[in-house]
């Protein structure tokens, strides 16, 4: 289980990151990593090579979970960090596509996600999982034509699996452009996490966005979220038909301000759909 309200479990095949925008200033993952010695240096771009660590031994962790779960991918990093190689990404997505869990992949680098899937089509671009014992399992849940089975990289498949959701974080109006890159990426569910919400998102276009999560910052030095920013996003989500999830008001602790918005708990989830 996890303390994150919108997911059941976390999976971290990569740990460590580097800051890219104001939402990263009080990064909880950096705070935990430095406190427990998982990282030795602050998460600045200059320290990225020391802090970003691949964990191939963790790739099969979700395959050992017997009951289907909602899985937040890389709560302690960014799967699309520039130091994560394409082959590692292909293997990670191969694991996701092979299981019955639902995966929520959240990134502050949606441009790389878009570019990755331009180079590697869904299913066709995924790599088979190679177990630590050396045994190779082709774990695709989708049928591969016999005459193409020896060349999976040659099968152009644009329809993404319904169990893999792609999202981006947007904390202020400057970074609403991330939604544009997300819209250009094939996904059964596209979602935006406006957390920590640091200002009104006046230019956020919710076209093609299936799910909107809103939350205030928590922890020492938490920056306040104004009520009108959250209410405006809620109203626009309702008007657009975008599922809305209000995570928290934030404050000194994550639960300090509660979870109700105008007296209502918003716990909506999206319905996956495969693009035609």
Q: List the domain boundaries for the chain.
A: 9-265
Residue-level pLDDT at 150 = 42
Show pLDDT as tens, one digit a residue, over the chain (276 residues): 567 888 999 999 999 999 999 999 999 999 999 999 999 999 999 999 999 999 999 998 998 898 999 999 999 999 999 999 998 998 899 888 888 899 999 999 999 999 998 888 776 556 655 554 444 443 433 333 333 334 444 334 456 888 999 999 999 999 999 999 999 999 999 999 999 999 999 999 999 999 999 999 988 889 999 999 999 999 999 999 999 999 999 988 777 788 999 999 999 999 876 554
- Cα–Cα distances in angstroms (integers) from residue 265 to residues 42, 50, 216, 257, 259, in the given order: 36, 41, 15, 13, 6
- Cα–Cα distances in angstroms (integers) from residue 190 to residues 59, 89, 134, 221, 269, in the given order: 23, 18, 35, 31, 12
Burial of 159 (0-12, 13-18, 19+ CB in 10 A): middle
Token pair 């009951």 is at which residue? 67
Residue-level pLDDT at 114 = 95
- Cα–Cα distances in angstroms (integers) from residue 5 to residues 126, 177, 191, 199, 252, in the given order: 30, 26, 15, 22, 18
Residue-level pLDDT at 123 = 60
**Phi then psi for 65, rounded to 5 degrees?**
-85, 125
Read off the DSSP letter of residue 114: H
Rg, C-alpha atoms of the chain: 19
β-sheet bridge partners, residue 168: 107, 192
Tokens of 124: 């066709």
């Amino acid at each position: 289980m996890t303390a994150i309200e919108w997911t059941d479990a976390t999976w971290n095949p990569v740990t460590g990151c580097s800051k890219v925008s104001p939402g990263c200033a009080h990064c909880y993952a950096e705070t935990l990593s430095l406190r427990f010695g998982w990282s030795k240096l602050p998460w600045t771009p200059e320290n990225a090579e020391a802090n970003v660590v691949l964990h191939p031994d963790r790739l099969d962790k979700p395959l050992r979970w017997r009951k289907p779960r909602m899985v937040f991918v890389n709560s302690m990093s960014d799967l699309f960090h520039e130091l994560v190689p394409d082959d590692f990404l292909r293997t990670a997505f191969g694991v996701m596509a092979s299981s019955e869990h639902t995966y929520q992949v959240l990134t502050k680098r949606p441009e790389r996600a878009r570019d990755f899937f331009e180079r590697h089509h869904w299913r066709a671009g995924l790599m088979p999982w190679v177990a630590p014992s050396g045994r190779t399992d082709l774990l695709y849940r989708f049928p591969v034509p016999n005459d193409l089975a020896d060349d999976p990289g040659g099968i152009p498949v644009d329809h993404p699996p319904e169990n893999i959701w792609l999202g981006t974080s947007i904390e202020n109006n400057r970074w609403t452009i991330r939604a544009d890159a997300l819209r250009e990426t094939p996904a059964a569910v596209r979602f935006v996490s406006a957390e920590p919400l640091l200002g009104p998102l006046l230019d956020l276009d919710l076209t093609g966005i299936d799910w909107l999560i809103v939350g205030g910052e928590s922890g020492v030095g938490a920056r306040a979220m104004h009520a009108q920013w959250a209410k405006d996003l809620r109203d626009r989500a309702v008007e657009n038909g975008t599922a809305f999830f209000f995570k928290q008001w934030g404050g000194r602790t994550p639960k300090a301000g509660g979870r109700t918005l105008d007296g209502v708990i918003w716990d909506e989830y999206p319905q996956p759909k495969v693009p035609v």
